[in-house]
């Protein structure tokens, strides 16, 4: 019915412009409370059916959304026409998908905070696990190990990634550039355990079998971090207007100086933001560090000698090998997981702040 009406209005617009549009404007409009009323009615209907057949919160939510979408679409189509009804239906689908995506995120945050927050005390941040059995102890050794290994991985990855991106955007031509781009794409999707096995094989050849040290973990993390830095920097360099490069060349400035003084300063905000996100990407990796660094109960600040503790590995061992009693170790595991989430969240906020502060100022 509404399709025929829309077609007639379109024909009227051809014959008498504006008459069909005025007819559309005279169509009915659902009141504002109609959406809430249909939602409440859908909840009552689905709740009544499930009360007889067996109540389930998951079925109740899904059934309410489906009945609500069908009911509101039918009502809107009868009153407002096909276009408005379709718009309402799509809005319901998009909103439902958004809320569905929030469910696991909220669930994870709630679970980690509820289990990990009670162990957030001064001892947790200032003590290691050396000589601790049962209650007490902390993650000071894991925090220092995580910061040292992540910093070392950043020192390895950032220069390599940034310079590779500059080559691909400013100099890369032909087969070599295509080959580098291909391998960067492959490395972007490489499983983290493969990077760990690569680092183990490399340092077994250099130092002998069974070598466990922070440098090996940093090498494994750099394999994961380099392609992220390359991709982020490459995209930032590509959005720099070519007019800026051409203006610099017209003034007789060499290409290397144009890159250093024009291209990089223009895109520095996006580059630093991408690097920060790359650090947040690797700081929570567990599999490579399990086989390259291992775990220790004491503090080791030397990444070139001996095992080091890291937050992801500490949380893994604390939860899978809790000892007796289990509760203190599992509390430390949840607290370490919460600390990792906080660190990653702060890094993402720093990335956004850097991108805003260093963005080119335009009128």
Over its length of 363 residues, how does the chain's per-residue pLDDT go in tens digits?
Answer: 444 555 555 544 544 455 444 444 456 788 888 888 888 898 888 888 888 887 778 888 888 888 888 888 888 888 888 888 889 899 999 999 998 889 888 998 999 999 988 888 888 888 888 887 778 888 899 999 999 999 999 999 999 999 999 999 988 888 888 999 999 988 888 888 999 999 999 998 888 888 888 899 999 999 999 999 999 999 999 988 889 888 988 888 888 899 988 898 888 888 888 898 899 889 988 899 999 998 888 888 888 888 899 999 999 988 888 777 788 888 889 999 999 999 988 988 888 888 777 766 554
Identify whether the C-beta of residue 146 lies closer than 8 Å to the C-beta of residue 314: no
d(CA 197, CA 203): 10
Would you state the pLDDT for residue 6? 53
From the CB of residue 86, how many other CB atoms can be counted at a distance below 10 Å? 14
Token pair recorded at residue 185:
């794409």
Integer angstrom CA distances of residue 312 from 58, 140, 339: 32, 13, 10
d(CA 242, CA 239): 9
Identify whether the C-beta of residue 188 lies closer than 8 Å to the C-beta of residue 226: no
Q: Kindly give, in sequence order, each residue whose CB lies less than 8 Å from that of residue 222, ignoring residues fewer than 6 positions away.
A: 153, 156, 157, 160
The torsion of the CA quartet 37, 43, 46, 51, rounded to 10 degrees, works out to -130
> What is the secondary structure of 260-289 as a DSSP string?
IIIIHHHHHHHHHHHHHHHHHHHTT--HHH
Integer angstrom CA distances of residue 241 from 4, 263, 348: 50, 9, 27
Would you state the pLDDT for residue 159? 93
Q: Hunting for tokens 């169509």 — which residue is that?
A: 27
Identify whether the C-beta of residue 130 lies closer than 8 Å to the C-beta of residue 309: no
């Amino acid at each position: 019915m509404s399709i025929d009406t829309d077609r007639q209005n379109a024909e009227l617009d051809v014959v008498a412009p504006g008459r069909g549009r005025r007819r559309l404007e005279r169509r009915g409009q659902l009141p504002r409370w109609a959406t809430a009323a249909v939602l409440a009615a859908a909840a009552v209907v689905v709740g009544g059916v499930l009360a007889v057949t067996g109540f389930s919160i998951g079925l109740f939510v899904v059934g309410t959304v489906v009945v609500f979408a069908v009911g509101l679409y039918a009502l809107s189509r009868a009153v407002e026409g096909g276009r408005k009804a379709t718009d309402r239906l799509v809005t319901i689908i998009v909103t439902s998908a958004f809320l569905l995506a929030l469910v696991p995120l909220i669930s994870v945050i709630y679970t980690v905070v509820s289990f990990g927050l009670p162990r957030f005390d001064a001892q947790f941040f200032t003590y290691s696990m050396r000589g601790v059995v049962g209650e007490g102890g902390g993650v000071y050794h894991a925090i220092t190990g995580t910061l040292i290994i992540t910093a070392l991985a950043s020192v390895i990855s950032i220069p390599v990634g940034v310079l590779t991106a500059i080559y691909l955007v400013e100099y890369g031509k032909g087969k070599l550039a295509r080959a580098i781009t291909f391998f960067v794409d492959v490395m972007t999707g490489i499983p983290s355990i493969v990077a760990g096995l690569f680092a183990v094989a490399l340092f077994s050849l250099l130092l002998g079998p069974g070598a466990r040290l922070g440098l090996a973990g940093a090498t494994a993390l750099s394999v994961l971090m380099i392609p992220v830095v390359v991709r982020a920097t490459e995209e930032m360099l590509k959005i720099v207007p070519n007019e800026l490069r051409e203006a610099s060349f017209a003034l007789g400035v060499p290409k290397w100086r144009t890159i250093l003084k024009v291209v990089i300063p223009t895109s520095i905000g996006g580059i630093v933001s991408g690097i920060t996100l790359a650090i947040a990407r690797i700081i929570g990796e567990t599999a490579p560090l399990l086989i390259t660094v291992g775990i220790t109960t004491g503090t080791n600040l030397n990444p070139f000698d001996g095992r080091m503790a890291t937050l992801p590995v500490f949380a893994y061992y604390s939860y899978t090998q809790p000892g007796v009693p289990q509760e203190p170790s599992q509390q430390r595991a949840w607290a370490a997981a919460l600390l990792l989430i906080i660190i990653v969240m702060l890094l993402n906020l720093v990335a956004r702040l850097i991108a805003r502060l260093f963005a080119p100022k335009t009128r």
